[in-house]
Amino acid sequence: MFAQIEYPQNLLPEELDKYLANGWFRMRQTIFTTNFLHFNNLFYSAIWLRVVLNHSIHDKKYISLNKLNKGFRTEIKKSAIEGITPSHETLYQHYRKSISFEISPSLYELLFGNEAYSRFNTYEVNIYHHDTLIAAGFFDLGKKSAAGICCIYHSGYKKYSLGKYLIYLKMDFCIRSQLQYFYPGYMVPGYPAFDYKLEIGKATLQYLQLSSQQWLSYPGLVPFLDPLHQMVEKLGKLQFCLEKNNVYTTLLYYKFFEVNLDPSYYGQELFDFPVFLYCFPNTETSHYRIIIYNVCDTKYYLLQCSSIINIDFQQVIPPIFNSDVLKVERVLFATAIPVEICTHLSGILKHDGSA
């Protein structure tokens, strides 16, 4: 599954290490993973990152930021629910207004949701100009690793690169605590708002390759492959092959690919591919036959899906499928060879004339 969420009652340090190593991350007081995202009806891959902690993070950027920000007072301490002060919330609201993407309405909600206690061993970094809080960052500690949860800062101090400086301060603390890895979250190919993560600790930066589930150097000897682009490319080639055999499909992006992260659907294991080929659109609306390409096993799958919720006020309008939340009923056919699925679909057309 590409999008999953867990609700642990307790989380041991070594358990957090395992989650992080598998591409999971904290969201409020849950732990989740996703491999795809969408902003403003555009779809992207989420590529999880980590930095191997050693003294190589003390690079030129680290040195220059230390020099630039030497006039500010910095503190690092264990955080707690009661440690979220009015100053933190005021700074958060200023930061929230200065960014282009949507985040939680409050810092408390971002970190704790509706919970009255924290399952995570969280530390905070605070940066002060005289007595004014101008930046703050939060990170969780495991046994051998740490995860950077968020950084907030005042836009009036933009020239000081406080967001990057906070991440360096977190990693420096983790090195002194003898941790091995720091996980800054994900980067998003084609969405520059997250590119700053690629410049921090880049000498030992790694990314989690979705297809192999291995951590590889970024950039490295192995060419970086964007999973969403792979899916689109493979489905596009199959679509061309199908058209030559008079089988017509529509390439659609699926709006509800992250539905499994919604608590209302927890444990239902709903369909979570971000893009597919829509086959035989004249069939009854409660069932759909679609084709996906799975980058993990490099196979095409013809699936029969059912609608568990129909969104009455929306329609299937290319390039986005937004009319139904889908669940896979069964796999009708699977192959790594495009010609084989072309032959199979041609046979279905001849048998039942469903197009």
The reported pLDDT for the residue numbered 354 is 45
The reported pLDDT for the residue numbered 141 is 97
Over residues 251-309, the pLDDT tens digits come to 999 999 999 999 889 889 999 999 999 987 655 556 899 999 999 999 999 999 999 98
- Omega within 30 of 0 (cis) for the link into 219: yes
Q: Which CATH class name applies to 3-217?
A: alpha beta
Which residues of the chain form beta strands (DSSP E)? 3-6, 25-27, 30-34, 36-39, 42-45, 47-52, 73-78, 122-129, 132-141, 145-153, 181-187, 205-209, 214-217, 249-254, 275-279, 287-294, 299-310, 316-317, 320-321, 324-335
Amino acid letter, 222: V
Closest by CA position to 195, among listed 27, 91, 67, 44: 44
Q: Which residues contact 82 (CB under 8 A, 6 or more apart)?
A: none
pTM of the model: 0.90
Q: How far is CA 112 from the centre of its chain?
A: 19
Over residues 118-137, the pLDDT tens digits come to 899 999 999 999 999 999 99
Task: Identify whether the C-beta of residue 107 lies closer than 8 Å to the C-beta of residue 84.
Answer: yes
What is the spatial distance between Cα 180 and Cα 177, in angstroms, rounded to a whole number?
Answer: 9
Buried residues in 19-48 as b, exposed as e (16+ CB within 10 A):
bbbebbbbbbbbbbbbbbbeeeeebbbbbb
What is the spatial distance between Cα 81 and Cα 333, in angstroms, rounded to a whole number?
Answer: 51
Query: Can you list the residues of the chain whose pLDDT is less than 50?
Result: 354-355
DSSP letter assigned to residue 57: G
Amino acid letter, 145: S
Q: How far is CA 235 from the centre of its chain?
A: 22
- Crossing angle of helices 60-68 and 162-176, in 10° steps, is 110
Task: Identify whether the C-beta of residue 253 lies closer than 8 Å to the C-beta of residue 275.
Answer: yes
Q: Where are the domains of the chain?
A: 3-217, 227-352
**Greatest pairwise CA separation for the chain in angstroms:** 78
The reported pLDDT for the residue numbered 202 is 84
The reported pLDDT for the residue numbered 355 is 43
What is the spatial distance between Cα 34 and Cα 20, in angstroms, rounded to a whole number?
Answer: 12
Closest by CA position to 257, among listed 311, 322, 187, 176: 322
